[in-house]
Amino acid sequence: MVMLLFIRTPRKEVFPCHYLICDIFTYLLFIFFTAHQILSLTGISFERKSIIGFVELTIVPLKDNLRYVRLNSKQCRIYRVCLNDQYEANFQYCDPFLDICQADPNTRSLEMFSQCHLSAAQRIDPDHNSGELHIQVPEEAAHLVGEGRGLRIGIEFSLESPQGGMHFVVPEGEGTLVEKSAHMFTYGKSARLWFPCVDSFAEPCTWKLEFTVDESLTAVSCGELLDVVYTPDHRRKTFHYVVNTPACAPNIALAIGPFETYVDPHMNEVTHYCLPNLMQILKNTVRYVHEAFEFYEETLSTRYPYPCYKQVFVDETEDDSTAYTTMSILSTHLLHSIAIIDQTYVSRKAMAQAVAEQFFGCFITMQNWSDLWLAKGIPDYLCGLYSKKCFGNNEYRYWIHQELQEVVGYEEQYGGMVLDPWQPPASGARVDPKDMFYFPVRNVHTMSPRYIEVMRKKSHLVLRMLEQRIGQELLLQVFNKQLSLATNAANTKIGSGLWGHLLLSTNLFVKAIFTVTGKDMAVFVDQWVRTSGHAKFQLTSVFNRKRNTVELEIRQDCVHERGIRKYVGPLLVQLQELDGTFKHTLQIENTVVKADITCHSKSRRNKKKKIPLCTGEEVDMDLSAMDDSPVLWIRLDPEMSLLRGTVISQPDYQWQYQLRHERDVTAQSEAIDALHNYPEPATRKALTDTIENEQAFYKIRCRAAHCLTKVANAMISSWAGPPAMLTIFRKMFGSFAAPHIIKQNNFDNLQHYFLQKTIPVAMAGLRNIHGICPPEVVRFLLDLFKYNDNSKNHFSDNYYKASLVDALAATITPVISVLQPGAPITADSLSADTKLVLEEITRVLNLEKVLPCYKNTITVSCLRAIRRLQQCGHLPSIPTIFRAYAQYGMYIDVRLAAFECLVDFVRVDGKPEDLASLLTAVESDQDPGVRHGLARLLINNPPFERAQRHRLDTESVVHRLWNNINSHLANDARLRCDLVDLYYTLYGLKRPICVPLPEIQAMMKQMHNKERERLERERELQKEKERQKELESQPVIKQEIEDVKYEPEIGPLEELPPVPLIPDLKDDNLPVPVSSIKEEEIKIDVTSVQDMPIRVYSDDSKREFISDNAAPLPGIPGTSGPIGFEPGMFRHDKELDLSGPKAKKKKKEKKKHKHKHKHKHSSKDKSFKDKDRSLPPRPASSTDHLKIKEETRETLSSFSSSQSPSEDMSTMQSNMSF
């Protein structure tokens, strides 16, 4: 089908040329380099979302006979290519991403796709000296080319409605563009999406940037603003920027809008831009940006490499922040007023990160994709140092610990990551098949966004490990050396050949470390950068009383599991004994290492003496829980100097000591994790004490609260006294005179603030013996709502209120219904507690409409709570409300929360249409952040399990996803990779089960259907003739039928931009489809009709593929099951196509017939129904009449029952019986 389309597209001319080029032109690395580039955008139109521009690259050929130049350019329309303003050059355009699996169009397996994906990415990889745009140096211009002589290539281009790389935010509604704060910006790191260039991080050059915009707008771009010149008519002005420090194309960005400008009061070089009306919160948000600058300059002992820095806060970004040369584009959602607490941490870190990336990532870039880990890891590492200073050491260690666990978790699920896959380690070890990813890891355009995220964390951890190996000071000196080399190089002209210092690669980095420190880190790099995976240790210990030793056993049993590899080298074990902390370094050589460690202290628990800790403090401990071992607790690798997972077995009391007395947050956090498994009074006491301990880190206290919930639930039968944490909460937050009434809010103590937010949620997780939340806890929570008083507070309580709603949601347990099963749920049938909860939720949600809080946090929580009520059967599972909140124009957080609920709804009760509408949103929502976010939601909570023959697991979904990753998302690499992730989650590496191989299908079909098919076709033909006559006598009806019928043929063509289509087809393609159910029904009709041609062949055969007499499960609607291709089906399709309306009619008729046939076997598809409904009743004509009657009956009954999914199911069963 896809092929069919392409044949008719203009791309047809493009494809063959690709192979041609490959044949005659072998890859030559670096046949030229770029010295300077001019980018001039003149016609920037917000109405049409288009730009018209001109670029001029000055390239320096490295050889005399340069005949071709390849540049990167996507989605741009190129009008003219000119060499040195004189000679017009021929050019060809070929983007393999437009059809990635062109060679094998029928494959549906990710294995195949992965290969094609990588080769497509490499075919246009500028590092391989290739690109989409192939410019031929004409014969007459050959004399211009000479080694070392500059050649100017001018390209005129335009870009309309960009699908990626550049985003126009044009809000709907009244008013001028300025009033509506319309703006645009570029996003991602793919400059080729908006102008032709050499889109490589390894090609730095100087820039001249010119943007002509409306007089009321501001254009912010990289480099220094030289001048703003008005056009002669004074209605537009041109911003001239110049980048003198060499920068590579992906680091060039642009933002245009009616920005308000704020020059940083501490640093004049720094300018902040925000959208109108946000100036006040902008000032507050950027208050500490100068500190980040000062910190980095001081730490690296280097001056900031650029003359200026700009922060632009824009709406609808994909990421919180993206750094470009001298500027960062940040999300406007980072802005917050001084009264907001939680957002502050996020915003500060995001901005600090962006500043760090100015040094590494923008100024010093990577040589190749394989060096991505340095470009990502170094700024992360620097930002980590800054946040350690800014937020404290505990926060920093806790963060590192979290990252380590996340990396370990990801690797164990998906496979070990190799940070630098370019060069195998010296040992020559190859990547284990168990560590192979389902996407190519050698190019950033093919990597899963989640992988990039985790890789960034791993890089950070590896750099931190490096810091531990060579010392922080020396590592910073290495950075400093790189920066000073680069600064020197940046001040020279390109001819000096020093610009290579602006690039950093793994090898260069290792060399630099050696030069500065004299230490050879090659082994380290081999071990952690070029080898995949992490280590995993299991530690058990036995105390030998006679010899006063601890017999440790460290095993690495899991080395053959995914993501885990054997570690050889030193490992630090830290023992806390009665006499102090003792560190022992063990050499790990085998998978099993045994060591006897002599204890320093005799067992002497009766003596009262303070116990020294690793910090030098001496503390009193209650040692009554110990047996005669002098060991209080054991830790493995306490400084996280390895990438490792640990499983430490020690008795419960040791964990409790560790939680109470170990001063390291990571140890405390590990102890809490372990204590989940020991529900007993001593654990309860230890956790309670931790929550109450004012000296403890607040995040540990919060985690202890959650752990206590689990512990309390596990020991519910023996639990005495009030519900866990109630007393603590009252003691801390209850008012003096009446402890059951909470104090007026005062969040000045931020530790208490976080506890006040956490404890109610933790308490809401408590369950009594009946498995429900204790009534007193519910009352307690409702009282918190009632008595919440923020009037005297310095801070906003929106996050606190949201967490109270979360807590209410967490109290909800599955309904114990007294109703008849199947009876509709009404407001009266709710239980008393549920009524109270629902009333509270309704009240705060309604109140939010009048008095919206910061970021609508309460609405977000309310939506989740409503979904929770639906999940537990208290409310009917209706998606309408979520659809309303998910529409464009709601706040982004609210939209994503609503989508989260919708995704969950689809998984539980969704119909194929619901899934289709979600996919439509993924494909075409206006906000790139929502597209990406929704795709991630679908991956995390997939609509159906792999190979379970779920009702949603249909062939059309396979094709839809496939078409997206294969061709439709050519311009949005990130979303494409998101959908690859989704495809993998849903179907795995192999061909989806619901799409059988065409060979098998055909075989089965031949065996079973051949005869029947033939008969049917004959009959259909006859009927068709009859009907044709009828229809001709009824022109109106005919029109209607044709409308419906044409869609399947034209539908898939929609992605071809220039073809004007029938209006309601366009509707289908428009974003924001989730506005109302009525609309959706129409829309769904159209989408499913698109797939008709495929189904024609599949309905029968797919059933047979499953098994000869497989009957679909009763009650599952729309089990259309697996379908696939048949040899020659495209040809057949085409024939039909060519033979005009008559043939089409025939096909449709045939489908109808099968449809009927299908009903007998209980499978049913709503889309057909809907379409049938649109057909007018026909005059009686023999058997035809009978059939129509049957269908109508069913249509009516199912129509009336389509209100709720459960009802739908019940009617379905009754239908099935006829």
Partner 1 sequence: MSEAAEKVESASDARRRILNIAVSTVLLETGFDSADKVALETLTEILQCFFTEVGNAAKGYCELSGRVEPVLGDVIMSFVNMGISIQGLEQYAARPNRHVIQPPQQAPAPRTPAMLSAGSKAKPAPHIPFHLPPLPDPHAYIRTPTHKQPVTEYEAIREKAASQKRDIEKALTKFLAKTSETHNLFNTDDNQVYPLIACKPTFPAYLTCLLPTDQVFDFDELEYHFQVANRTEDMPPDKKDNSDNEGDNGNDDTANSQTDTQDSQAPPSPKT
Residues 642 and 668: beta-carbon distance below 8 Å: no
Least CB distance to partner 1 at residue 912 (A): 21
Instruction: State which of positions 697-716 bind partner 1 (CB under 8 A).
Output: 697-699
For residues 171-190, which are near partner 1 according to CB under 8 A?
Answer: 171-173, 180-181
For partner 1, which is the closer residue by CB, 173 or 1058? Answer: 173
**With CB under 8 A as the contact rule, which of the stretches 275-283, 1001-1009, 1021-1029, 1180-1188 interacts with partner 1?**
275-283
Structure tokens at 1031: 């229809």
C-alpha span between 142 and 67 (Å, rounded): 8
| Cα–Cα distance, 607 to 621 (Å, whole number) | 11
Residues 904 and 1075 sit within 8 Å (Cβ to Cβ):
no
Which residue, 205 or 892, is less far from partner 1 as judged by CB? 892
Residue 1079: half-sphere exposure toward Cβ, Cα within 13 Å: 14
* Interface with partner 1, residue 794, by CB under 8 A: yes
Task: Give the pair of three-digit tokens for residue 152.
Answer: 């100017």
Question: Which C-beta is closer to partner 1: that of 238 or that of 887?
Answer: 887
CB of 1203 to partner 1, least distance (A): 6
Q: Does 845 bind partner 1 (CB under 8 A)?
A: yes
Query: Between residue 279 and residue 298, which ones bind partner 1 under the rule CB under 8 A?
Result: 280-281, 288, 291
Angle at 432 between CA 430 and CA 438, to 5 degrees: 115
Residues with Cβ within 8 Å of 704's Cβ and at least 6 positions away in sequence, in order, are 659, 672, 687, 690, 691, 696
- Applying the rule CB under 8 A, the residues between 1133 and 1172 that interact with partner 1 are none
Q: Which residues of 715-749 are buried (b: 16+ CB within 10 A; e: fewer)?
A: bbeebeeebbbbebbbebbbeeeeeebbbebebee
Q: Which of residues 221-260 bind partner 1 (CB under 8 A)?
A: none
Identify residue 967 by its one-letter amino acid code. S
Question: Of 185-193, 725-733, 839-847, 1175-1183, which part binds partner 1 (CB under 8 A)?
Answer: 839-847
For residue 849, state whether it binds partner 1 (rule: CB under 8 A). yes
The distance of closest approach from Cβ of residue 567 to partner 1 in the complex, given in angstroms and rounded to an integer, is: 22
Does residue 786 belong to the site contacting partner 1 (CB under 8 A)?
A: yes
Between 998-1033 and 1140-1160, two packed helices, what is the crossing angle to 10 degrees?
110
Choice from 16, 771, 824, 1114 touching partner 1 (CB under 8 A): 824
Q: In what order do the strands lie in the sheet with 218-221?
A: 166-169, 183-186, 254-257, 218-221
- Binding to partner 1 in span 613-642, by CB under 8 A: 614-615, 638-639
The answer to whether the CB of 657 falls within 8 A of the CB of 633 is: yes
Closest to 465 (Cα-Cα) out of 535, 370, 415, 389: 535
Site string for partner 1, 525-554 (x = CB under 8 A): ------------------------------
CB of 844 to partner 1, least distance (A): 9
- Write down the least CB distance from residue 696 to partner 1, Å: 6
Assess contact for 995 and 1124: CB atoms under 8 A.
yes
The long-range contacts involving 1059-1068, CB below 8 angstroms and separated by at least 24 positions, are none
Distance CA 461, CA 384 (A): 10
How far apart, in whole angstroms, are the C-alpha atoms of residue 1145 and residue 1040?
12
Look at residues 88, 66, 91, 87 and name the one whose alpha carbon lies nearest to residue 76: 91
Residue 513's alpha-carbon distances to 467, 525, 889, 1026, in angstroms, are 11, 11, 51, 85
Q: Which member of 587, 846, 1039, 1076 binds partner 1 (CB under 8 A)?
A: 846
Q: Which of residues 490-519 bind partner 1 (CB under 8 A)?
A: none
State how far the Cα of 730 lies from the Cα of 1164, in Å rounded to an integer: 58
Which listed residue (65, 393, 1076, 1214) binds partner 1 by CB under 8 A?
A: 393
Residues 567-596 that bind partner 1 (CB under 8 A): 574, 581
737 binds partner 1 (CB under 8 A): yes
Question: Which one among 557, 618, 694, 1026 touches partner 1, defined by CB under 8 A?
Answer: 694
Binder among 389, 706, 1132, 1161 for partner 1 (CB under 8 A): 389
> 115-142 burial, b if ≥16 CB within 10 A, otherwise e?
ebbbebbbbbbbbbbbbbbbbebeeebe
Choices 62-70, 403-411, 736-744, 908-916 (CB under 8 A): range interacting with partner 1: 736-744
Closer residue to partner 1, CB minimum distance, 544 or 735: 735
Interaction of residue 891 with partner 1, rule CB under 8 A:
yes
Q: Does residue 270 bind partner 1 (CB under 8 A)?
A: no
The correct pick among 713, 1204, 1211, 1215 for binding partner 1 (CB under 8 A) is 1204
Q: Helix, strand, or coil here: 236? A: strand
Asked if 1088 and 912 touch (Cβ cutoff 8 Å), the reply is: yes
Tokens of 288: 């500490």
Q: Does 762 bind partner 1 (CB under 8 A)?
A: no
Out of 210, 380, 420, 664, name the contact with partner 1 by CB under 8 A.
664
What is the nearest approach in angstroms of partner 1 to the Cβ of residue 172?
5
Q: Is 262 in the site for partner 1 (CB under 8 A)?
A: no
Nearer of residues 315 and 806 to partner 1, judged by Cβ: 315
Asked if residue 851 binds partner 1 (CB under 8 A), the reply is yes
Which residue of 65, 735, 1076, 1139 would you call a contact of partner 1, by CB under 8 A?
735
Q: How far is 1075 from 921, CA to CA, in rounded Å?
A: 11
Q: Which tokens hold the place of 961?
A: 């996803």
Task: For residue 779, state whether it binds partner 1 (rule: CB under 8 A).
Answer: no
- Asked whether position 885 contacts partner 1 by CB under 8 A, the answer is yes
The stretch among 188-196, 688-696, 977-985, 1146-1154 that binds partner 1 (CB under 8 A) is 688-696
Total residues in contact with partner 1, by rule CB under 8 A: 108
Contact flag: residue 881 with partner 1 (CB under 8 A): yes
Closest separation in Å from C-beta 400 to partner 1: 11
Of the candidate residues 111, 147, 297, 748, the single one contacting partner 1 (CB under 8 A): 748
Given candidates 508, 559, 621, 741, which one binds partner 1 under the rule CB under 8 A?
A: 741
> Which of residues 39 and 672 has its CB atom nearest to partner 1 in the complex?
672
Q: Could you say which of 301, 598, 880, 1174 contacts partner 1 (CB under 8 A)?
A: 880
Q: Which tokens go with 822?
A: 């199947």
At residue 748's C-alpha, the angle toward residues 744 and 754, to 5°, is 85
By the rule CB under 8 A, 397 interacts with partner 1:
yes
Query: Which one of 443, 796, 920, 1119 is in contact with partner 1 (CB under 8 A)?
Result: 796
Quote the least distance from Cβ 99 to partner 1, whole Å: 36
Q: Backbone dihedral region of 172: left (phi > 0), alpha (psi from -120 to 50 degrees) or beta? A: beta
The tokens describing 396, both together, are 């920093």
Token digits for 170?
Answer: 């044009």
Residues 461-490 that bind partner 1 (CB under 8 A): 472
Out of 598, 817, 842, 1200, the only residue in the binding site for partner 1 (CB under 8 A) is 842
Judged by CB under 8 A, the chain residues 297 through 356 that form the site for partner 1 are 315, 332-333, 335-339, 341, 344-345, 348
CB of 601 to partner 1, least distance (A): 18
Q: Which of 834, 404, 806, 350 is nearest to 639 (CA)?
A: 404
- Asked if residue 691 binds partner 1 (CB under 8 A), the reply is no
Strand, helix or coil for residue 73: coil
Closest CB 409 distance from partner 1, rounded Å: 24
Tokens at 344, concatenated? 């502050």
CB of 986 to partner 1, least distance (A): 31
Strand duo 68-71 + 224-230: pairing: unpaired
Smallest separation, CB 297 to partner 1 (Å) = 17
